[in-house]
């Protein structure tokens, strides 16, 4: 079951490299560099240094006692990626790729961002490692995540608002790819999720696997066994694949939670694996939200970080192999979980992670107290307080 | 023999190079596309590329992005695309190449898509996000229906890979002249000349070399041809011309501009 390395850049039929010819030499160069450095002692040592001393690893595995009591079933543990520097798991990947870019002698870094968390993590890595960062962000996202735009600017990176298409994450990726095509010799594209052409899905997964590896070690200490279930939210799917991959051979049930928006049946959602079909976008073959002719659909989610019509190809593979169950949680349930965790555990979760929390509470109820669930709390929710405020206002008004 | 191959043979005998013109189907309207094609054929274009809009055209610059976006907004779809091709085919036998993105083919199924577009008169396909490494199923279907497969090479493609891509291509080989997306360039740099010369040397006349991305006026066309190209490919410049033009005036405007470009392909 465990896939050490995809064959020809593929997970079963998924993945691949559907890219313009100009980028072929660039992804080949990247793959070679990655293969060269990923097991290199100096590289690993330097990455370990930054992950521990700069980003704050390892992150705690916190027993959410109050939440567990409310749910009234299985024990709920939170993998506290929200405590990392920058407030999200994204820094695991940006430090890894930043160090790789340096070894490849590429000083100019470009990135895309949805909610802004990857943009912020990229800006931090660039600042710490002495690289020049430029971040593409959908115009709509710059409006709903103003705080992160301000943070990126403070951290010394330039933000390019993207006004094409739906003005969200997918358009930011399109624009970053166009930049990469134009400046391919000098520029490193620091992709933020386990998506895109090979080797990105593998490389990002590997950098994020520190999450699952720590969970395994910590659970064996706390519960003397691997977790019975793990839950993570899935947009592109980087925190989820980082959680799942090291546990794939364990006796652990896995759940990937997508953004159900206003409900999967409403058509206003971002639940690619739950409600999508196979297609090709951003260099990969994977599940997509698209119409019957192959035009990519407009997606919806209250959380900008999950608002993406594609998903990492390894998730598509794990879905079809039935190793992971993918399900959707809608906006309303996510906001309720956001409020619940804030009030009862004193932890304000990112709206993305709130989807996973909502699912965990539902699931824990129907599980025995002797079992345990680990939820990857991928990020903190300071960035989301305004959005949640707007949502609550709107819905209170609607009720009146 | 395919219409494209025929055309290049014919041009060779006349000592001419080819002018390949790109327009976006459904931009500024279905009627506008038909008018543009009339202008192109009257003006002397040798091959026409018809774009079929895709929601996420990541190899395209702002002009083609905008044209595709507008076409989709106005309801452009596969059925309407086929209707446009049928109308064009009633008027002209000019080689027609469809340029779009892989997902539209994948979604229908490569074989189904290719058999349908072939049946209405499409002679070749260009997919900027389909490198040869992923082309297995696509090629099988294309060969079955005798559809020309025009792959792209870039200034940073290795000589060894150019050979491979050329042997996978039919009709012509498409050299992307610059590092960048489609659309106008101010001035070509030395690397473009070098890339054309290098590709010609590798191809040794086995397949014609078309050069596009950023060719937007007769001087640039001349420069590209002088460097050794067998065809110039012009797209964004035609679309720009159509951006603020009423449908009635499109044909004349396009014809006039086409003539000026075609001149550059005829040796003095």
In angstroms, what separates the C-alpha of B45 from chain A's closest C-alpha?
Answer: 26
Residues of B in contact with A285 (CB under 8 A): 106
In angstroms, what separates the C-alpha of A321 from chain B's closest C-alpha?
Answer: 22
Amino acid B267: pLDDT: 77
SS3 of chain A: the string is CCCCCCECCEECCEEEEECCHHHHHHHHHHHHHHHHHCCCHHHHHHHHHHHHHHHCCCCCEEECHHHHHHHCCCEEEEEEHHHCCCCECHHHHHHHHHHHHHHCCCCEEEEEECCCHHHHHHHHHHHHHCCEEEEEEEHHHHHHCHHHHHHHHHCCCEEEEECCCCCCHHHHHHHHHHHHHHCCCCEEECCCCCCCCCCHHHHHHHHHCHHHHHHHHHHHHHCCCCCCEEEEECCCCHHHHHHHHHHCCCCCEEEEEEEEECCHHHCCCCCHHHHCEEEEECEEEEEECECCCCCECCCCCCCHHHCCCCCCHHHHHHHHCCCCEEEEEEHHHHHHHHHHHHHHHCCCECHHHHHHHHHHHHHHHCCCCCCEEEEEECEECHHHHHHHHHHHHHHHHHHC
Residues of A in contact with B98 (CB under 8 A): none
Asked if A296's CB is within 8 angstroms of B55's CB, the reply is yes
Interstrand relation of A61-63 and A75-80 (parallel, antiparallel or unpaired): antiparallel
Candidates A182, A279, A294; nearest CB to B181:
A182
Asked if A182's CB is within 8 angstroms of B129's CB, the reply is no
- Burial bucket for residue B200 (CB in 10 Å: 0-12, 13-18, 19+): middle
Task: Kindly identify which residue of chain A lies nearest to residue B135, measuring between CA atoms.
Answer: A18
Task: Kindly identify which residue of chain A lies nearest to residue B70, measuring between CA atoms.
Answer: A165
A102 in active site: no
Asked if A294's CB is within 8 angstroms of B65's CB, the reply is no
Place A237 in a pLDDT band, splitting at 50, 70 and 90.
very high
Amino acid A8: pLDDT: 75
Q: What is the C-alpha end-to-end distance of chain B, expressed in Å?
A: 30
B49 in active site: yes
Q: What is the mean pLDDT of residues A232-255?
A: 97
Can you read off the two tokens belonging to residue A237?
Answer: 């799917």
Q: What is the mean pLDDT of residues A93-113?
A: 98
Asked if B154's CB is within 8 angstroms of A20's CB, the reply is yes
Candidates B72, B103, B128; nearest CB to A280:
B103
Can you read off the two tokens belonging to residue B128?
Answer: 């900027």
* Whole-number average pLDDT of chain A: 95
Residue A142: pLDDT over 80: yes
Q: Please state the pTM of the whole predicted model.
A: 0.96
Residue A400: pLDDT over 60: no
Residue A2: pLDDT over 90: no
Q: Return the exposure string of B209-230: e unless at least 16 CB atoms fall within 10 Å of the residue's CB, then b.
A: bbbbbbbbebebbbbbbebbbb
Q: Which of B46, B60, B251, B255 does the annotation list as catalytic?
A: B60
Q: What is the pLDDT of residues A303-346, one digit of tens each?
A: 988 989 999 999 999 999 999 999 999 999 999 999 999 999 99
Task: Kindly identify which residue of chain A lies nearest to residue B133, measuring between CA atoms.
Answer: A17
Which of A18, A110, A298 is the mutation pick for testing B, counting most B CBs within 10 A?
A18
A112 in active site: yes
Asked if B107's CB is within 8 angstroms of A24's CB, the reply is no
Amino acid A399: pLDDT: 58
Amino acid B187: pLDDT: 82
Task: Kindly identify which residue of chain A lies nearest to residue B179, measuring between CA atoms.
Answer: A182
Q: What is the mean pLDDT of residues A108-112?
A: 98
Candidates B55, B129, B155; nearest CB to A19:
B129
Place A397 in a pLDDT band, splitting at 50, 70 and 90.
low
Q: Are B59 and B129 in contact (CB under 8 A)?
A: yes
Q: Which residues pair with A261 in a beta bridge?
A: A330
Residues of B in contact with A7 (CB under 8 A): none
Residues of B in contact with A174 (CB under 8 A): 56-58
Can you read off the two tokens belonging to residue A106?
Answer: 């590429």
Q: What is the pLDDT of residues A181-211, one digit of tens each?
A: 999 999 999 999 999 999 999 999 999 999 9
Q: Are A222 and A60 in contact (CB under 8 A)?
A: no
Asked if A17's CB is within 8 angstroms of B133's CB, the reply is yes
Interface residue B157 vs chain A (CB under 8 A): yes
Q: What is the mean pLDDT of residues A362-378?
A: 97
Q: Which residues pair with A62 in a beta bridge?
A: A78
Q: What is the pLDDT of residues B187-235, one digit of tens each?
A: 888 999 999 999 999 999 999 999 999 899 999 999 999 999 999 999 9
Question: What is the architecture of the domain spanning B3-262?
Answer: Alpha-Beta Barrel (3.20)
List chain B pLDDT tens, one digit each, 268 residues: 799 999 999 999 999 999 999 999 999 999 999 999 999 999 999 999 999 999 999 999 999 999 999 999 999 999 999 999 999 999 999 999 999 999 999 999 999 999 999 999 999 999 999 999 999 999 999 999 999 999 999 999 999 999 999 999 999 999 999 998 888 667 888 999 999 999 999 999 999 999 999 899 999 999 999 999 999 999 999 999 999 899 999 999 999 999 999 999 997 6
Residues of B in contact with A20 (CB under 8 A): 58-59, 128-129, 131, 152, 154, 176
Interface residue B266 vs chain A (CB under 8 A): no
Amino acid B1: pLDDT: 78
Q: What is the pLDDT of residues A36-66, one digit of tens each?
A: 999 999 999 999 999 999 999 999 999 999 9
Interface residue B181 vs chain A (CB under 8 A): yes
Task: Kindly identify which residue of chain B lies nearest to residue A181, measuring between CA atoms.
Answer: B180
Q: How far is CA A124 from the centre of its chain?
A: 17
Amino acid A4: pLDDT: 58
Q: How far is CA B106 from the centre of its chain?
A: 20
Residues of A in contact with B57 (CB under 8 A): 174
Asked if B61's CB is within 8 angstroms of A18's CB, the reply is no
Q: Where in chain B are the domains?
A: 3-262
Q: Which of A90, A140, A319, A383 does the annotation list as catalytic?
A: A90
């Amino acid at each position: 079951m465990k896939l050490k390395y995809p064959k020809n850049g593929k997970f079963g039929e998924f993945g691949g490299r559907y890219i313009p010819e100009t980028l072929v030499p660039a992804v080949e160069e990247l793959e070679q560099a990655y293969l060269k450095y990923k097991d290199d002692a100096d590289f690993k040592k330097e990455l370990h240094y930054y992950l521990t001393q700069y980003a704050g690893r390892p992150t705690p595995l916190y027993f959410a006692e109050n939440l567990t009591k409310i749910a009234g079933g299985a024990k709920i543990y939170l993998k506290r990626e929200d405590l990392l520097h920058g407030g999200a798991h994204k820094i695991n990947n940006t430090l890894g790729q930043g160090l790789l870019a340096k070894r490849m002698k590429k000083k100019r870094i470009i990135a895309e961002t949805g909610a802004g968390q990857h943009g912020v993590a990229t800006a931090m890595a660039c600042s710490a490692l002495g690289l020049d960062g430029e971040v593409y962000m959908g115009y709509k996202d710059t409006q709903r995540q103003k705080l992160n735009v301000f943070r990126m600017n403070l951290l010394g990176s330039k933000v390019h608002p993207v006004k094409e298409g739906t003005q969200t994450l997918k358009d930011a990726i399109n624009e970053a790819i166009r930049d990469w095509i134009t400046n391919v010799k000098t520029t490193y594209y620091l992709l933020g999720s386990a998506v895109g052409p090979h080797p990105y899905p593998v490389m990002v997964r590997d950098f994020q696997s520190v999450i699952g590896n720590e969970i395994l070690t910590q659970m064996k200490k706390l519960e003397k066994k691997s977790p019975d279930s793990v839950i993570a939210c899935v947009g592109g799917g980087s925190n989820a694949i980082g959680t799942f991959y090291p546990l794939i051979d364990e006796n652990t049930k896995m759940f990937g939670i997508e953004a159900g928006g206003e409900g999967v049946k409403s058509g206003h959602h971002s639940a690619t694996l739950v409600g999508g079909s196979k297609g090709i976008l951003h260099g990969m073959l994977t599940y997509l939200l698209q119409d019957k002719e192959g035009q990519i659909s407009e997606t919806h989610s209250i959380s900008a970080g999950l608002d993406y019509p594609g998903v990492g190809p390894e998730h598509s593979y794990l879905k079809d192999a039935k190793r992971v169950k993918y399900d959707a949680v809608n906006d309303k349930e996510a906001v309720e979980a956001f409020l619940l965790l804030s009030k009862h555990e004193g932890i304000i979760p990112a709206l993305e992670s709130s989807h996973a929390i909502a699912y965990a509470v539902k699931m824990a109820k129907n599980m025995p107290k002797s079992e345990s669930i680990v939820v990857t709390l991928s990020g903190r929710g300071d960035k989301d307080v305004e959005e949640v405020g707007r949502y609550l206002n709107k819905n209170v008004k609607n009720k009146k | 023999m395919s219409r494209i191959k025929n055309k290049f043979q014919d041009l060779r005998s006349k000592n001419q190079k080819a002018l390949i013109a790109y327009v976006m189907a459904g931009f500024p309207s279905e009627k506008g596309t038909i008018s543009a094609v009339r202008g192109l054929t009257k003006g002397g274009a040798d091959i026409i590329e018809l774009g079929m809009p895709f929601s996420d055209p990541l190899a395209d610059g702002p002009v083609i992005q905008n044209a595709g976006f507008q076409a989709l907004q106005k309801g452009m779809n596969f059925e309407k695309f086929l209707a446009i091709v049928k109308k064009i085919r009633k008027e002209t036998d000019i080689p027609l190449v469809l340029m779009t993105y892989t997902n539209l083919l994948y979604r229908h199924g490569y074989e189904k898509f290719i058999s349908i577009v072939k049946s209405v008169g499409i002679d070749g396909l260009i997919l900027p996000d389909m490198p040869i490494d992923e082309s297995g199923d696509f090629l099988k279907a294309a060969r079955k229906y005798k559809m020309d497969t025009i792959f792209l090479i870039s200034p940073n493609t290795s000589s060894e890979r150019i050979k491979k891509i050329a042997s996978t291509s039919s009709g012509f080989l498409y050299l992307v002249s610059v590092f960048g997306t489609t659309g106008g360039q101010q001035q070509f740099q030395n690397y473009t000349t070098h890339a054309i010369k290098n590709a010609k040397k590798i191809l040794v006349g086995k397949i014609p070399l078309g050069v596009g991305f950023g060719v937007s006026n007769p001087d640039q066309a001349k420069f590209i041809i002088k460097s050794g190209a067998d065809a110039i490919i012009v797209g964004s410049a035609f679309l720009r011309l159509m951006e603020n033009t009423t449908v009635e005036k499109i044909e004349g405007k396009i014809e006039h501009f086409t003539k000026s470009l075609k001149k550059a392909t005829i040796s003095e």
